[in-house]
Every structure is written in C-alpha cells, then in structure tokens.
Amino acid sequence: MTYKKITPKELHERLKSGEKVLLLDVRAEEKFNEFHIKESRNLPKTNIFQLDEKQDAQLSLPKDQEIIVTCTTGNSASKCAAILDTYDYHVTVLDGGLTAWKAYKNSLED
C-alpha cells in the first residue's frame, strides 16, 4: 500500500491556506448529510468496494490530484484508499477520520 496519512491539523492548515484539495467522504449519504467537512464530497464506500475496471472510468475522480479519503474513524477510508490506490489514484487518508477532525476542531475553540 502506498497511500499516506494526514493529520487533522495538517488538513486544516491546507484547507485554510486555500490549497485545492479533493476531500472524499466515503460514509453513507445519511451520515454525510448529518455532518461532514464542508469542502468534502460524498462517495459511499459501497461504490468503491464494488469497483471494477469499467466503473473506475465512471468515478470521475482525478488521477492527477491528491484525494484525501475520510470516514468516521479511518477504517473504511483506509480500505477505500487501498482499492483506489490499485487504480492509480493519488490517495491520502485522514488519520482518525471525522472523530479526530471534530476533536481537533473542538480543541481550537477552547
């Protein structure tokens, strides 16, 4: 596996700097609608788990841009990143997922 991890702090700094980042939230649509990082787009993990060569072309994800994958705790994101990596996507996983993201953001407000 060749994907990297990014900490919530690193992601926050990159978003704050205005860097163009593709943030992919792989949770179910209902969970995504309840809470998500505002810059993210939703692609449920079931779509990625069922990938084959034909569907890869239909994902409409850029292969020339880093894709940061997130979920609740990072487990599903890691599985999705491993699959996307086999299709030559440049993937990074948000370490600790949205649970860690929320904890980091809450620490900034103290």
Domain range enclosing 29: 4-109
Q: What is the structure's pLDDT at 1?
A: 57
Query: Which two tokens mark 106?
Result: 């809450």
Q: Which residues pair with residue 24 across a beta bridge?
A: 41, 69
Tell me the whole-structure pTM to 2 decimals.
Answer: 0.91
Give backbone dihedrals phi and psi of 24, rounded to 5 degrees, phi first: -110, 115
Q: How far is the C-alpha of 39 from the C-alpha of 47, rounded, in Å?
A: 20
Backbone angles phi, psi at 25, to 5 degrees: -95, 120
pLDDT for the residue 69: 97
State which H helix or E strand residue 105 sits in.
Answer: helix 97-109
Q: Looking at residue 60, what is its pLDDT?
A: 81
Q: What is the pLDDT of residue 58?
A: 67
Domain count, the chain: 1
What pLDDT was estimated at residue 50?
84
pLDDT per 10-residue tile (average), the chain, 110 residues: 87 93 96 95 92 69 93 96 91 97 89
* Cα-based distances in Å from 30 to 11, 26, 34, 36, 38: 24, 11, 6, 11, 15
CATH number at residue 105: 3.40.250.10
